[in-house]
């Protein structure tokens, strides 16, 4: 799989995810922050929501915030968590990978691979992904 170097714009996205988590961290409730870069160039953020039995990841919260504000295209996405005073980048779960593939298989996903921060197209992080064809509806 081809990975790409992390750019200054990627660092800005990572910092946005860290910032939303710093402001909203609450043990057992909000432990992951995410940021999504959209086609307009705006960044939208979100935190995970823990509830009894289930809670959505931070990535769909950030994506929902973007789409709720009229955005139509995901360009890049990242999630972070708190570890002590650090906010390392996380790898997205399978559901979040599928979410990004559904909206833009070419979107860049910033993720962690054995502690190294990497970036790759969403389609490369979910081989054999189900293609929804939502645009055909």
Active site residue 59: yes
Pick the catalytic residue: 15, 59, 86, 106? 59
114: left (phi over 0), alpha (psi -120 to 50) or beta: left
H or E, element range at 75: strand 74-81
Helix 94-103 to helix 58-68 angle, to the nearest 10 degrees?
A: 20
Residues belonging to the active site:
59
């Amino acid at each position: 799989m081809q990975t790409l170097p992390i750019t200054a714009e990627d660092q800005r996205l990572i910092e946005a995810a860290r910032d939303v988590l710093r402001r909203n961290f609450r043990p057992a409730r909000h432990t992951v922050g995410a940021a999504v870069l959209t086609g307009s160039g705006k960044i939208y953020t979100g935190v995970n929501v823990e509830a009894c039995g289930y809670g959505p990841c931070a990535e769909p919260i950030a994506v929902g915030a973007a789409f709720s504000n009229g955005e139509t295209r995901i360009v890049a996405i990242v999630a972070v968590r708190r570890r002590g005073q650090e906010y390392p980048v996380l790898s997205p779960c399978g559901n979040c990978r599928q979410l990004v593939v559904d909206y833009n298989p070419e979107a860049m996903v910033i993720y962690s691979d054995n502690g190294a921060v990497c970036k790759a197209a969403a389609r490369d992080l979910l081989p054999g992904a189900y293609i929804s064809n939502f645009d055909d509806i």
